[in-house]
Amino acid sequence: MLGRQQIAGLPTAISEIFKNAYDAYAQRVRADFLRDLGSLIIRDDGQGMTNEQFVDRWLTLGTESKLEGNRPPAPIGRAMRTPLGEKGIGRLAMAAVGPNVLVVTRSNTGPTTAAFVSWRLFELPGINLDEIPVAMIQLDAPAPGPSQLLSLINETAQFAESIAERIPDARGMATEIRSFPLGVLDRVQHLGPPQYSAGESGTLFLVSPTDQTLEADLVDTEGEPSHLVKMLIGFTNPLEATPDFQVTFWDRGVDGTAEELIGPAGFWSDDDLKSADHEIDGTFDQLGSFAGTVRIYGEVVDHSWTQRGRVSRTKCGPFRIRFGVMQGAQRESPLPPDRWALLIRKAERIGGLYIYRNGVRILPYGNNDYDFLDIERNRSKGASYYFFSYRRMFGYVSLNTVDNRALTEKAGREGFQENAAFREFQSILKAFLVGSPLISFDREGNRLTTTSNVVRS
């Protein structure tokens, strides 16, 4: 119940599972949707879990995983990561993806643990938690063989059948559990890395059947990217630094075709920003004042800005902003026509201002359906006055847990809580984009000009 009702949708649930891989110091996490089997495989090359960790943490609610003593140490030669998971949302989000999950996890210090969880058993009335089995085995191989997997499924299905007389709904669950696709793990070796050979750590989740809304979330509509792409693309921020965590999502059709929907190549790059017609790059300090540069075509000027009436330290804290802007008409851009067209098409699909904390995206910011800065709302009032548009701009706002601790996410990961710090953060950005004439048209010459002095909007 917690997993389903705290999560806005499947893309958010999958995002939480990716965050768990990040917390496990994975360098890669990969999702493969197998349409022919209605199954989703998510695997990472993180530190994995021992049998004890799986039972005491993954299968236990309310663990203090963020306490310093409970956090896994960083691998040798790697920097510590600030944990992203919270309240066990990632593991509970599995229930939103599908009713049954096979978990296979291996740490560097122990054997492989495999477990089968049927979430629907926890919905049944009239039984207690200690009655519900979580079938588990330990093995030396990287993954369970067919007979071992069958034993996990049989144990769970037999429990559902044993209570079917007093709880009729359990009978249908038993049938569904026994239909779990046994041969899916054999296909993993053909799907690309990460792979699990002897001694390698990592975790694999096989969810089947997936919730029927997953296919709907993968459908592009009227030139717009799918809901899943909008929510998961740009999971880490390549515009600020080279991420040490790579996320990919593959859609594998019934006919054997495969399409990479989420991956590094599909998002914005530093070259894209440098190719934009205009670029703004700078930081807002503790007082909410901006200092940085504005590039208009090839001319770079220093720029500063202070919001009118602001004299006290902000609650939201300092942050960085960097974004590029494209001209709406090719004749107004110095770029070659093919390069301009490529960036415009990309901006129309995935343009926007993304928000990152510690280099990982905060949902749903960046999604052009979520206009939290009223950019498109203002644009509709008058394009001649309101210059910026989500479909012609792309970039990011960078936060961190030290400077911006007052910006806290909602329990269901649907953006920041609308507390005083968030309202202040929102107000500063709105005023910066609307009130300060960073970029304005010279009506006579149809050329762009900048204002480089302190502007009090």
CA–CA dist 335, 41 (Å, integer): 42
Q: What is the pLDDT of residue 196?
A: 74
Q: How many domains does the chain have?
A: 2
Instruction: Tokens for 392, please give them.
Output: 């012609």
Shared-domain flag, residues 29 and 124: yes
- Report DSSP letters for 239-304, one per residue: TTS--S-EEEEEEE-TTS-EEEEESGGGS--HHHHHHSSEEEEEEE-TTS-EEEEEEETTEEEEEE
Same domain, 220 and 369: no
Residue 134: which residues within 8 A CB-CB, separation 6 or more? 59, 115, 116, 117
Q: How many CB atoms lie within 10 A of CB 78?
A: 11
pLDDT of residue 221: 80
User: Is there a single domain that holds both residue 310 and residue 236?
Assistant: no
Spatial contact of 347 and 392, defined as CB atoms under 8 Å apart: yes
Mark whether 396 and 429 lie in a shared domain: yes
User: If DSSP codes are grouped into helix, strand and coil, which group holds residue 319?
Assistant: strand
CB count within 10 Å of CB 183 equals 9
Contact between residue 192 and residue 30 where contact means Cβ atoms under 8 Å apart: yes
Q: Based on the fold, state whether residues 239 and 151 are members of the same structural domain.
A: yes
pLDDT at residue number 109: 79
Q: What does the block give as tokens for 131?
A: 């009655």
Single out the residue in 266, 301, 336 at which a domain terminates: 266
List, in sequence order, every residue forming a beta bridge with 205; answer none if it has no partner: 42, 103
Residue at a domain's end among 211, 232, 266:
266
Same domain as 139, residue 11: yes
**254/355 same-domain check:** no
Say yes or no: 226 and 279 in one domain.
no
Chain center to CA of 429: 23
pLDDT for 456: 31
pLDDT at site 442: 40
Claim to verify: residue 218 and residue 308 sit in the same structural domain = no
Residues 300, 243 share a domain: no
The secondary structure of the chain in percent helix, strand, coil, rounded to multiples of 5, reads 30, 25, 45
Q: Which residues of the chain have pLDDT under 50?
A: 437, 441-446, 450-457
Question: Which structural domain range is residue 141 located in?
Answer: 2-266
**Whole-number Å distance between alpha carbons of 137 and 158:** 17
Confidence (pLDDT) at 3: 67
Query: Are 113 and 77 members of one domain?
Result: yes
Task: Kindly report the CATH number assigned to the domain that includes residue 251.
Answer: 3.30.565.10
pLDDT digits (tens, 9 = 90+) for 395-446: 999 999 999 999 998 876 788 999 999 999 999 999 998 865 455 544 334 4
> Same domain for 37 and 116?
yes
Query: Residue 97: which of 208, 184, 262, 231 has the closest Cα?
Result: 208
Q: In angstroms, rounded to a whole number, what is the distance separating the alpha carbons of residues 50 and 36?
A: 32
Taking the model in full, what pTM does it have?
0.89
Q: Which of 266, 296, 320 is the last residue of a domain?
A: 266
Helix axes 169-178, 146-162, angle to 10 degrees: 170
Burial of 111 (0-12, 13-18, 19+ CB in 10 A): middle
pLDDT at 248: 95
